[in-house]
């Protein structure tokens, strides 16, 4: 029996605490504008386009944080069913396996169970978005030169969460009646990353057939 979405997507289910924008800042205003477009039912392809006279880095920063929060929440709803025994490797079906690599413990790409991979991924993204040198919150503080490259890496790794959830846990999403919500979030994400070329096409291949049906 489908559970009400409000119960499914509540703050207690969030895999990580939500990152918020400071009221009164430029990014908070952009966040509100982006949310208003979505809530008004605007075509998602149009909703992701850069508003006139706005800075691309600001627009990308707002969306990266928003997608982190949303995808975090989606994974949180299935995380109790994603265990080391059900998902011994982080994958998207038999053809796609994702290995974890970072600058600390895992210097080389390492095969890990999906829940461990997800935990490391969310920790890593949280560290990036809370780093003032990468995601400055003060108006007038410039973004670093490699800002878009950092965002590309974050978004390509967040895409892997969609791959794993859709291929291995979608029965659970459907059972909870959250299918429409997850699909809308995915479409929003897909239109955004393709609008600004933020994910390599080869990274998008695991969900290519589904995306063609859903987004074209």
Question: How many whole angstroms separate alpha carbon 120 and alpha carbon 115?
Answer: 9
As a dihedral over the C-alpha atoms of residue 174, residue 180, residue 184, residue 190, rounded to 10 degrees, the angle is 40
| Continuous H helices in the chain | 5-8, 26-39, 44-47, 56-78, 114-129, 147-168, 170-175, 179-195, 201-204, 208-215
Binding site members: 82, 87, 164, 169
Binding site members for Zn(2+): 82, 87, 164, 169
Give the single-character DSSP code of 100: B
* Structural element, H or E, at residue 102: none
Question: How many whole angstroms separate alpha carbon 199 and alpha carbon 207?
Answer: 13
Residue 110: strand pairing partners = 100
């Amino acid at each position: 029996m489908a559970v009400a979405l409000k119960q499914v997507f509540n703050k207690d289910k969030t895999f990580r605490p939500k990152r918020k924008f400071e009221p009164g800042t430029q990014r908070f205003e952009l966040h509100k504008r982006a949310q208003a477009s979505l809530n008004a039912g605007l075509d998602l392809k149009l909703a992701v386009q850069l508003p006139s006279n706005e800075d691309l880095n600001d627009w990308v920063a707002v969306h990266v944080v928003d997608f982190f929060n949303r995808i975090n929440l989606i994974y949180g709803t299935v995380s109790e069913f994603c265990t080391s025994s059900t998902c011994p490797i982080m994958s998207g079906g038999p053809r796609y396996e994702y290995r974890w690599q970072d600058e600390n413990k895992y210097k080389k790409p390492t095969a890990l169970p999906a829940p461990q991979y997800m935990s490391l991924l969310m920790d890593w993204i949280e560290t990036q978005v809370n780093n003032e040198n990468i995601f400055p919150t003060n108006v007038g503080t410039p973004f670093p030169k490699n800002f878009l490259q950092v965002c590309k890496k974050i978004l390509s790794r967040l895409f892997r969460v969609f791959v794993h959830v859709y291929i291995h846990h979608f029965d659970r999403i459907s059972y909870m009646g959250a299918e429409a919500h997850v699909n809308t979030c995915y479409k929003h994400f897909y239109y955004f990353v393709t609008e600004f070329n933020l994910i390599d096409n080869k990274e998008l291949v695991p969900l290519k057939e589904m995306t063609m049906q859903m987004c074209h």
